[in-house]
Chains A and B, each alone.
Chain A
Amino acid sequence: MTESTVFTVLIGGKAGEGVKKAAQVVAHTLMACGKHVFQMDDYQSVIKGGHNFSVVSSSDAVVYGTYAKADLLISFDDLSISKHEHELNPEGLHFCNADDCSSLSTPALKLPLTTLMKQHYSTGGNVSVAAIAIVYAALRLPEDELQTLIAKEFKRNINENTAYAMAIYALVGSEAQIPFTTSAPNPARFISGNQAISLGAWLAGLEYYYSYPMTPASSILHYLALKQESHRVYAIHAESELAAANMAIGSIVAGKRAAVGTSGGGFALMQEAFSLAGMVEAPLLCILSSRPGPATGVSTYTAQEDLFFALHAGHGEFPRIVASPDSFERAFSLAAELLELAWATQSPSILLTEKHLSESCSDISLPLEDVSVTNTQELQPEPYNRYTITDSGVSPLKYPGTGNCNDDDVIKWNSNEHNEAGWRTDTSEGIIAMKDKRQRKAALINSLSRKNHRIAEYGHGSIPVFAYGSTALELREAMKHTPFKLVVPIYLEPFPFEELEQYRGMPAIVVEHSQTGLFTEFLINKLNIRPIRKILRYDGRSWDPVELANLVQEALNA
């Protein structure tokens, strides 16, 4: 596969102009032409104005990331021109807004986007419609299909949108000559990482999602809120992350599967509740989608700075599960798997991901076969004790006021150290007995998780390139340009020692979105790898696949 078979569209404009929406429609269009797609939105924490751009890369093969060089560049405004006109492939086409292009310094096709908008709309206007028309014209896709698409995707002011789109389509005419082949439509779903996570957790029985908005996790809250009627899932916007996490634990006490989701700052506020989940043995699923920190950091960009934060979440000692999906498909299956594992071991779990996976979109088939859900409840003779000491460390669960308990059962969960009945204790033997019971679950977590895909390996090569999370996606696209072997721990806690033993002490390359090389440090600690190169990025951006391939190639040659 060569780079030339990738077709990339970049659309730039102001916040509020519908850049992301336009790119989504373009991605759907490309899928209808039989392509695989990857969409990445680069946006600022701005509602109106500023500069946003969205990139869609497509190919006949699966695409794992977007390319910096565009084949079709659409600039709604002058700022987009200055930011992107040099990111055009030699054979690419640049369409810009003739009404706002004073800094244009390279060849481009000028279209009076603003003038035409004023002619076709009584008030306002929707320039994102123009982007769709340009793509249709440039790829020589049929006019009647464009009309149908605009009516379907831009329902407000249909007539004005359609007239505007047709005018742009006619104006571009046959000037554009982008070589493009179509095949049978790609029937896959086009979804974001956050949607995949939401659906995976939901398949595993998620009923309650408690959250406080925080980019890049907010779209889970929005998506699940929309699904309330159709999926009978309840997304509750709590007063704070503290409330969200404690509410989720309350729903778990009542016997329902619940999750929370946030980014680093919000997860910092959930630390005490995460610790509570460890103590009361609540199977709380936390979705942690990272952005650059510290503090408020950079709201709308990507990072992997929270690795140790996730691994060490909560005060006190208790077993937990931390895993990070390396693909959209895995985001779905891992969310289900982590919720299952949390319930099987009554332990809190963290799905660690990043803005790059959370908010990017791709075409995927949900790996339904990778999800297995069990609901077995082993009940014990009376009297019931919430924290019965067992060999596995897992005590049978009962839920108040439900069919699985009778009127005499008293089910006491306790944030204080407690005895088997759930009453507070501070005796030496009481503390030791309950701490040992909880810690025994670590072995259970390890043995149960071994049934899952705890690592992934891609490609071939003698020196392993390590990455986790969505950095693996970036490397899989880079791998199309230079061969290497990619090794991805999906589970970070428990660490998949058995599967990765073969790499112990080996020279290796580590790629991560961190300034100080947290993942490298983690791998040295766990596997004693000898890093010959750390490829680090901490500006919030993802790599261009060609650029990343060159960095890996350079490291391999070093």
Chain B
Amino acid sequence: MRRLTTAKEISWCPGCGNFGIFAAVKKAIIRLNEAGTPLANIVMTSGIGCHGKIFDYLNLSGIYGLHGRALPTAQGIKLANPELIVISFGGDGDSLGEGLEHTLFAAKRNMDITLILHNNGNYGLTTGQASPLSSVGYKGLSTPRGNPEIPFEPIPLLMEAGATFAARGYSAKLDHLADLLYQAISHKGFSFVEILQPCVSYNNTYQLYNSSTRMLAGLPKDETEAIHLAKDKDVNYLGVFCQKQRTVYHETLYGGEKPPAMSYEQRIEILKG
């Protein structure tokens, strides 16, 4: 098996939550590979931001796309070759700010892809501005008087939009996160994993998350309970909030398996016909 880390020098800040995410992703991919998925069939897309740098470090094929557009690109790949496992990485600014519309629509379609959301609660790479997930009062360069907006609740938001798998992990709980990622990628349908990720430079949440995270006892019994637990203000529950089956987009489009492409000769015959 090829190495999963490229030779590119890593430029995340020392202590960045992205290291934990990177390690967990590699663990999940090794497990997928051991379970029979060739690495050549796993493709990644990413947006722009600190999260996006994972594209350079993870030795997988794919496209390091535009800010906010990792999901449309991922969907274009999945439709063109449904046999590929497509994993999309996004930041909270990327997937819920610039690209919110795409995130909701990918879930609505139940595209058979996975969105891994690096939630560090700010725009790290552009020096710590407030993100769509920053708390009220968050002070950054663009909100010196404090963030006046309430944050989105990503798991309820994605569940409402149509995600058929939704989970939350924490970058410092590596084994648990790796297992969540494996489950998410293996799930048939749109999978969403929110990862609580401390940003050591602008939003250091290690202490908060070390004391506020708690594992879910199991899959919540229904949507109401899942949303209630996901929105808990005092406890950050970790685990799978939702897992259900719904027809995936490409199977509806193709009526099952994708038919083989037509040759030039077939095409010209149709036009001559």
Residues of A within 8 A of B (CB): 199, 202-203, 205, 207-208, 210, 230-232, 234, 236, 238-240, 242-256, 258, 272-273, 276, 280, 366, 368, 373, 375, 399-402, 405-416, 418, 421-424
Does the CB pair A414–B55 fall under 8 Å?
A: yes
Interchain CB contact (< 8 A) of B60 among A230, A249, A410: A410
* Binary interface encoding of chain B residues 46-81 relative to chain A, with 1 for a CB under 8 A from any of its CBs, else 0: 001000010110011111111001001111111111
In the bound complex, do residue A400 and residue B271 qualify as a contact, i.e. CB atoms below 8 Å apart?
A: no
Residues 86-97 of chain B, each 1 if its beta carbon lies under 8 Å from chain A, else 0? 000000000000
Determine the main DSSP class of A at the interface with B.
mixed
Whether A423 and B8, one on each chain, are in contact in the complex, defined by CB atoms closer than 8 angstroms, is: yes
Q: Which residues of the partner chain B approach A409 to less than 8 Å between Cβ atoms?
A: 40, 61
| Contact present for B268 and A368 (CB under 8 Å) | yes
Q: With A250-B76, A400-B81 given, can you name 17 additional A-B contacts, CB distance below 8 Å?
A: A207-B80, A239-B105, A242-B69, A242-B102, A243-B69, A243-B102, A247-B76, A249-B65, A258-B76, A273-B69, A400-B62, A410-B59, A410-B60, A411-B62, A412-B61, A412-B63, A413-B64
CA distance A189 to B52 in the complex (A): 50
Give B76-134 interface residues, CB cut-off 8 Å to A.
Answer: 76-81, 83-84, 101-102, 105
Binary flags per residue of B151-188, CB closer than 8 Å to A gives 1, else 0:
00000000000000000000000000000000000000
CB-CB under 8 A for A250 and B73, given A199-B271, A402-B81 = yes
Cβ contact of A250, chosen from B45, B271, B272, cutoff 8 A: B45
Q: Does B200 contact A (CB under 8 A)?
A: no
Report B8 CB to chain A, min CB distance, Å: 5
- Select from chain B the residue with minimum beta-carbon distance to A232: B262
- Among residues of A, the one whose C-beta sits closest to the C-beta of B70 is A246
A243 in complex: contacting residue of B48, B62, B101, CB < 8 Å: B101
Contact B259 A401, beta carbon cutoff 8 Å: no
A408 to B2, CA, bound (A): 6
| Known A203-B264, A203-B268, A368-B271; contact A414-B64, beta-carbon cutoff 8 A | yes
Binding site for A on B (CB under 8 A): 2, 6, 8, 38-41, 43, 45, 48, 53, 55-56, 59-66, 69, 72-81, 83-84, 101-102, 105, 253, 259, 261-262, 264, 267-268, 270-272
Could you tell me if A254 and B84 are in contact, using CB atoms closer than 8 angstroms? yes
* Alpha-carbon gap, A280 to B270, bound state (A): 34
A234 to B82, CA, bound (A): 14
Minimum distance in angstroms from B61 CB to a CB of chain A: 4
How long is the Cα–Cα vector from A410 to B48 in the complex, in angstroms? 20
Contact status B81-A247, CB under 8 Å? no
Contact of B8 with A208 in the complex, beta carbons under 8 Å: no
Q: Which residues of B contact A230 (CB under 8 A)?
A: 270
CA distance A249 to B76 in the complex (A): 7
B72 near A246 with CB under 8 A, answer yes
Among residues of B, the one whose C-beta sits closest to the C-beta of A245 is B72
Cβ–Cβ < 8 Å partners of A232 in chain B: 259, 261-262
**B48, B56, B261 — most chain A CB neighbours (10 Å):** B56
CB distance from A427 to the nearest CB of B (A): 12
B76 pairs with A246, CB closer than 8 A: yes
Complex Cα spacing A406 to B2, Å: 12
Which of A203, A239, A250 is close to B80, meaning CB atoms less than 8 Å apart?
A250
Q: How far is the CA of A253 from the CA of B55 in the complex (A)?
A: 15
Q: In whole angstroms, how far apart are the Cα atoms of A253 and B259 in the complex?
A: 19
The answer to whether A254 touches B80, judged by C-beta atoms less than 8 angstroms apart, is yes
Distance in Å: Cβ of A293 to nearest Cβ of chain B: 24
Q: Is the CB of B271 within 8 A of A256?
A: no
Query: How far, in whole Å, are A252 and B62 apart by their CA atoms in the complex?
Result: 11
Do A246 and B267 form a contact, CB below 8 Å, given A400-B61, A401-B81? no
Given contacts A199-B271, A242-B69, A401-B84, are A250 and B63 in contact (CB under 8 A)? yes
Bound Cα distance A413, B73 (Å): 11
Contact A248 B39 (CB under 8 A): no
In the complex, which of the residues B6, B65, B102, B264 contacts A423, with contact meaning CB atoms closer than 8 Å? Answer: B6
CA distance A108 to B84 in the complex (A): 67
> Which of A242, A250, A421, A423 contacts B75, CB < 8 Å?
A250
On chain A, the residues within 8 Å of B69 by CB distance are 242-243, 246, 272-273, 276
Complex: A540 Cα to B149 Cα, angstroms:
45
Chain A residue with the shortest CB-CB distance to B74: A250
Q: Which residue of A lies closest to B253 (CB)?
A: A234
Which residue from B2, B65, B78, B83 sits with its C-beta under 8 Å from A410? Answer: B2
Tell me the complex Cα distance, A232–B267, Å.
10
User: CB-CB < 8 A to B77: which residues of A?
Assistant: 250-251, 253-254
- Chain A residue contacts of B2, Cβ below 8 A: 407-408, 410
Asked if A234 and B79 sit within 8 Å, CB to CB, the answer is yes
For B66, give its contact among A276, A402, A418 (CB under 8 Å): A276
Query: Given A238, A366, A373, which contacts B271 in the complex, CB threshold below 8 Å?
Result: A366
Point out the residues of chain A lying under 8 angstroms from B264, CB to CB. Answer: 203, 205, 373, 375
Q: Tell me, in angstroms, the Cα distance from A100 to B62 when the chains sit together.
A: 64
Q: In angstroms, how far is the closest chain A Cβ from the Cβ of B16?
A: 17
Which residues does chain B contribute within 8 Å of A202, judged by CB atoms? 267
B64 x A424 contact (CB < 8 A): yes
Interface residue from A207, A254, A415 paired with B64 (Cβ < 8 Å):
A415
Contact call A246/B73, Cβ cutoff below 8 A: yes
Chain B nearest CB: distance from A205 CB in Å? 7
The docked-state distance in angstroms from the alpha carbon of A231 to that of B56 is: 39
Q: Do residues A246 and B268 form an inter-chain contact, with CB atoms below 8 A?
A: no
Pick from B40, B56, B72, B78: contact of A238, CB below 8 A.
Answer: B72
Min C-beta distance of A241 to chain B, whole Å? 11
CB distance from B105 to the nearest CB of A (A): 4
Q: Which 3 A-B pairs have the closest CB atoms?
A: A250-B76, A254-B80, A246-B72
Q: Determine if A280 and B76 form an interchain contact, defined as CB atoms under 8 angstroms apart.
A: no
B56 engages A423 (CB within 8 Å) = yes
Contact partners of A249 in chain B: CB under 8 A = 63, 65, 73, 76
Q: Judge whether B76 and A253 touch: CB under 8 Å.
A: yes
- Chain A residues with CB under 8 A of B60: 410
Chain B hits for A240, CB < 8 A: 101
- B243 → chain A, closest Cβ, in Å? 25
Residues in B whose Cβ lies below 8 Å from that of A258: 76, 80
Q: Are A253 and B41 also in contact (CB < 8 A) when A205-B264, A232-B261, A402-B81 are?
A: no
Query: In the bound complex, how far is the Cα of B74 from the Cα of A246, in angstroms?
Result: 9
A246's nearest neighbour on chain B, judged by CB, is B72
A414 & B40 in contact (Cβ 8 Å cutoff) = no
Which of A243, A254, A373, A416 contacts B72, CB < 8 Å?
Answer: A243
Question: Could you list 10 examples of A-B contacts with CB < 8 Å?
Answer: A205-B267, A242-B102, A246-B102, A247-B75, A250-B63, A250-B79, A251-B80, A400-B61, A407-B2, A415-B64
Q: Which residues of B are found within 8 Å of A276, using beta-carbon distances? A: 65-66, 69
Q: Which residue from A400, A406, A407, A415 sits with its C-beta under 8 Å from B84?
A: A400
* Residues of chain A contacted by B53 (CB below 8 angstroms): 424
Bound Cα distance from A236 to B8, whole angstroms: 37
**A239 touching B79, Cβ below 8 Å:** no
